[in-house]
A = this chain, B = another copy of it.
């Protein structure tokens, strides 16, 4: 369990800051789904009282980033396949709406801003700085929402962004293939610059579907071979 620790030794963090840091740890793939979040441990890590941690966990559970079970504590959420599919489908709806809204109000300054972001993102990829690239990819989507100027869509997109890693890590694993494709970000900005909302939306849908289409029920092994199952463990490993 490795939530980032940023704390001053004599005074603990605020509730909001603890919340933010745990959210960021999820986003950075540092907190895998299923991770047990123990109150006393977190309180010690962040240099705060347990009461504050309990408040933070309540909020995280309310946002569905955390599963809380009575008397058993909190774990990082593990969304089902259906939830994962629903989340991505909803993400397509929200991101499309953001692009349509943004397309109607985009100006040269905004395009410049987005292009700068893209350049940083490409640079991070080129240097092989995986963490940085991930953060900038995420920020690209956030910036679209922010520039679109609808605070409710912004809010929901940020909610979705926070939950997306849980789906990916639970069902697909931490693999570069399951991340944003940078060239599609560029194509979205191009379309926005051309005032072509339809095209932007189309690229965005493709962008999300490249991950979404991989989220499915894993077929059960229909009829497990009993002989294989009953063989001693050491023999099984070499089979």
Contact = CB atoms under 8 A, between A and B. Distances in A.
Interface of A: 55, 58-59, 62-63, 82-83, 86-87, 89-90, 93-94, 97, 101, 150-153, 156, 160
A151 B59 contact: no
A156 B90 contact: yes
B90 A150 contact: yes
A224 B198 CA distance: 47
A83 B151 CA distance: 7
A82 B151 contact: yes
A130 to B, nearest CB: 28
A59 B101 CA distance: 30
Nearest to A98: B93
A54 to B, nearest CB: 8
Contact of A62 (B63, B97, B150, B151): B63
Given A90-B153, A93-B153, 16 more contacts: A55-B58, A58-B58, A59-B59, A62-B62, A62-B63, A83-B152, A86-B150, A86-B152, A87-B152, A89-B152, A89-B153, A90-B150, A90-B156, A93-B93, A93-B94, A152-B160
A90 B150 CA distance: 8
Contacts of A87: 152
A40 to B, nearest CB: 18
Nearest to A84: B152
Contacts of A94: 93
> Which one of A59, A83, A93 has the highest number of Cβ atoms from chain B below 10 Å of its Cβ?
A93
Contact of A86 (B62, B63, B90, B151): B151
B156 A156 contact: yes
A156 B89 CA distance: 13
Contacts of A160: 152
Nearest to A156: B156
Contacts of A55: 55, 58
9 contacts: A55-B55, A55-B58, A86-B152, A86-B153, A87-B152, A89-B101, A89-B152, A90-B156, A93-B97
Contact of A97 (B63, B82, B90, B153): B90
